[in-house]
Each structure stands twice: as structure tokens, then as C-alpha cells.
Amino acid sequence: MDEKEKLYLENFKTYLSVEKNFSSHTITAYCSDIISFLLWLNGLSCLDVEYNKLREYLHFIQRFEYKKTTIARKVAAIRTFYKYLLRDRYIENNPSISLSAPKRPKPLPKFLTPYEVEKILNNVKIDTPAGFRNRVIIELLWATGMRISELSNLNFGDLNLEENEIRVFGKGAKERIVLVSDRAKNYLTQYIKTARNLIAPDYNTAETDENSPLFINKTGFRLQNKTIRTVINEVVQKIELPKKVTPHVFRHSFATKLIENGADLRVVQELLGHAGISNTQIYTHISMKHLREVYDSAHPHGK
């Protein structure tokens, strides 16, 4: 890569982080995909690429027998890269606008039952300030359906606990309000009053303003996504739950429970921060699957 392309790549990384609000994992994957693409161009400027050249690249990567999901991500990275180049007026036309990826299979999202969620919550050790913080985090994931990045980025200025509301910033820095259950609010309030200031005793964390991070680590800085994932993994392994549980599984569980209890699809869409209703409709399939299972097990003419 020449110096210009290195600059494009660095600015693209900033674009993904600041404007698109992508996770660090996605940013790393996209940038890696673009580096591979730029190296494949072998001296041809990315600004001079046309649609046929992109098709040639897709044909080239087919030989590596990537999964469909990997190829779809690589296509998404290229499309996003050229959208960025067009937006910053490096190019006049977007050669990737008609570029299509192989259709990815859409398995139903995995989710937890309320019993399984409570089992996880009850096995979080809360006898230390950090342990109590961890309990609050899982309570909020289950109660609000927030993404892990939305939760870790919460500041004090985002809280409106008198109204059981929290402001979050989702993908593309899109702002929305999520609702908090009384139980989750009580845990959060207790965390703010007591546990938070004890997590980093060697640092001045008592003085807060609206931009202060809500969840902190032992050095007083904002808690990172990786730590939250580790906490969940440790609890799940401890209770030997026969499911892979990630922070996003709590989001799926939140949405599934709302749908099963008769929540309007548009309301669920708003709470989850989905751009389109099609992303939310998958939870109706989960609900129907659950209904079929109940019918098959309970009705005399079931299975």
C-alpha cells in the first residue's frame, strides 16, 4: 500500500468508530478485509477501481472456500469502504453499489428462558463491589435488551431513573430510550450509592458529572466489553448451563419474552433500536416455534 491508501485506511477506521459506532471487533475485521483487498490490487489505486474489478476480487476469494458469512462480511467491508470514499469525495461514483454477497443463512437467535436467566443472576457473587457491579450489568442486559457496547458506553448523564429510563446510543450513534424494570433500577441505584466508589479505592471516582462512565474497572476507567463477556462466561461455566451465553443472548431473550407476552412488534423494534421492522420480525418466528412446541407436547393430537 502507498501512503495515500494508508491514510484512507486510517480515516476509514475513524469513520467506522466515530460515525458508524461499530464495535471494536467489527472495526478490526473490516480493516483487515480492506487491507487484504488493497494488497490484492497490487499497485492499482483503490480510487480507480470499477465494478468489474470488484467482481474479479470476489471470484478470487472464492477459491479459499470461506464460509458464506465471511464472504458477506468482506463484501460489506468493501461496500462501506467505498461509501466512505464517496462521502469524503475521493471518488465521484461508487463502484460497489451493485455488489452483492451470497445470502447468509438466518438461524433463529438463541435465547434463555426466564428460569435460566434467574439461575445466572443468582450465581453472580455479589460479596465484593465488582461482583455487585457484575450483577447490575446482567440485570440491565436482561431488563432493557441493550447491546453490550451501549451498556459499557453509559454515562451518568444518560440516566433518568425517576422515570425508569436510560438513554443509549446505538449503531450509527442513533439515540433511543430504553425502559428499566423496578428491580434493575433498585440494583443500579444501590450500585451508584455504594459499590461504584469501592471498585477503585485508590482513585477519585466519587466526583462525577454527566460525562462520567457509569460502569468502571479497578483503575477507575470505563469498563470494557471484554470484561463483561468474561464475567458472563465464568458464571455460565460455573452452573454448567448447556448453552453458549453471550451478552447478545440476553438481548434476544429480552425481545423473545416481550413477543411471547403479547408486546406489539413496533414497540419491540423501538426498544431494541432496530432500523427496520424486518430485523425484529425474527422474534415472531421464535415465538411461533415455542407455541408449536407447547402445542405438540400438550395437545392430544400433537405429535
Mind telling me the catalytic residues?
147, 171, 248, 251, 274, 283
Its sign, for the CA torsion 74, 75, 78, 83, is negative
What residue ranges in 139-297 does DSSP mark as E strands? 159-160, 165-169, 175-179
Distance of CA 79 to the CA centre of its chain: 20
Secondary structure letter of residue 241 according to DSSP: -
- Report the alpha-carbon distance of residue 36 to residue 21 in Å, rounded: 23
Closest to 244 in 3D by CA, of 236, 234, 254? 236
Closest to 46 in 3D by CA, of 71, 78, 75? 78
Closest to 80 in 3D by CA, of 147, 169, 13, 3? 13
* Beta strand 159-160 pairing with 175-179: unpaired
Please, are residues 154 and 214 in contact by the beta-carbon 8 Å criterion? Answer: yes
Q: Which amino acid is present at 153?
A: N
Helix axes 247-260, 265-272, angle to 10 degrees: 160
